[in-house]
Structure 1
């Protein structure tokens, strides 16, 4: 599996010559530096470790600084392994968007936007307990009954209730690479990609 680390820039539209519109997500993918090459003999599995995004060396630990120095590169913010990578890269080499081509089908992994603590109407699509009558003026967004009383005398696991919403790791499959701007390290992927603008995503094939 070959992949690359990127940052979500935003969304735009691409129009085909026949006038068809395609919504696309713009991702700044790479350049990523190969900071470690893992092999079956030394580590028990094959993988490429890629690093993306510069950061100040004073914000890095000594172990991180020495690790990146082996690849002859500066301190990086994000590090990710891609197992069984089909890329033939050595330590210190760079991976760019050129590993993909227009028309490729890819998978994108991202973290959805965090919504904080939300009620059942927003979190699960509940409709409330019904009309407001006989003094029920505060029940329009209430969850209603959540279980029995004397039996089972507890709330079952998985009960849909209020709680934290969002900030979930999500993988979208079957997305299409619409266009590549190699000089800017931009890749346009059809449809929406989870995460806020500026969030880190993984593109893999």
Structure 2
């Protein structure tokens, strides 16, 4: 089909179609049109429903009363600074649960015994090189023949023995890197009375049903119910939910064996000689499970040590104290004689 000519609305028809009385007025109409030129007004009518809700502010919109938005890595670290610990955490082994009694009130408190096994600083992660601040901690011991050559070189650079477990603990700034590479950090890193967060892999329970995994009540245990007492029941509606099972439906499946964090556990006792830290409550994982112990994020930061020098006195002071004690003992023996 040939293309259709556009419709010229508002234009005069050809002169031969006009009556003779109107043809004489065409020059006057054209003259007035050239003298008076009005701007073209375009208006599009939109029919909508007026909402009674105020528009929500866009969190990415610029506001003069707020600082400019930044999308740099430095700005991201500043936003996370309030929830980043000031110092590193440590790795511990879960030895089991016991109970302690208060000598004054006689109250029994359930607790978990955690043992620290040769925690040493392996490396430091810096902002200019790695993009963040962190301390790499190694614990335990491993035979050199069971360690790959790249990892042997990594341990040799830190001048430490091969470690069985390794983990990184992020810190807020460079002040958290005051623990030097190769230093041994003991149980006195934590103080009695402070709050800690523990993180570990929970105990795996295999494939479990809905009652044990999600706490379902099961089907009625009365007359007429047969072989479905512990069944989960209907998994999805018909027409109301689209004749399908919605994503995320709680069903039977693998239970446990996932990362679990228990927050705000109180440190009850610390034994530096045996490397034992006793915390209040339960800790995820079976016995001999490796545990990440850090300062609690939901509590004020503890006034704990930032370096190992703040934990143990320097060797010079120890020698001076022992030397003065020997001199005092010799003076006492001479006086007695």
Asked if the contact 1:178–1:188 (Cα under 8 Å) also holds between the matched residues in 2, the reply is: yes
Q: Which has the higher helix share?
A: 2
Q: Deviations over 1:38-64 (max 9, x none)?
A: 112222211110001111222211111
Deviation at 1:14, TM superposition (A): 1.3
Residue number in structure 1 paired with 2:98: 12
SS of residue paired to 2:263:
strand
Q: Which has the higher strand share?
A: 1
Q: Name which structure has the greater RCO, CA cutoff 8 Å, separation 6+.
A: 1
Runs of 4+ in 1 over 6 A off after TM superposition: none
Residue number in structure 2 paired with 1:115: 205
TM-score (normalised: structure 2): 0.58
Q: Deviations over 1:127-164 (max 9, x none)?
A: 22213544x42110111111123561321111111000
- Matched residues in 2 for 1:22 and 1:175: separation? 12
- Matched residues in 2 for 1:87 and 1:187: separation? 23
Report which of the two structures shows the higher radius of gyration computed on alpha carbons.
2
Distance 1:133 1:17, change over 3 A: closer
SS of residue paired to 1:76:
coil
Stretch moving more, 60-69 or 85-94: 85-94
Asked if the contact 2:134–2:177 (Cα under 8 Å) also holds between the matched residues in 1, the reply is: no
Residue number in structure 1 paired with 2:5: none
Residue number in structure 2 paired with 1:91: 181
Q: Deviations over 1:151-204 (max 9, x none)?
A: 613211111110000112111111111000100000000111111110010110
Any gaps of 5 or more consecutive residues in structure 1? none
TM-score (normalised: structure 1): 0.93
1:118-133 aligned at under 5 Å gives the runs 118-133=208-223
Which of 232, 235, 239 is matched with 1:143 structurally?
A: 232
Deviation at 1:87, TM superposition (A): 5.3
1:1-205 aligned at under 5 Å gives the runs 1=85, 2-18=88-104, 19-84=106-171, 86=176, 88-134=178-224, 136-149=225-238, 152-205=242-295
Deviation at 1:67, TM superposition (A): 0.7
Asked if the contact 1:9–1:197 (Cα under 8 Å) also holds between the matched residues in 2, the reply is: yes
Asked if the contact 2:187–2:275 (Cα under 8 Å) also holds between the matched residues in 1, the reply is: yes
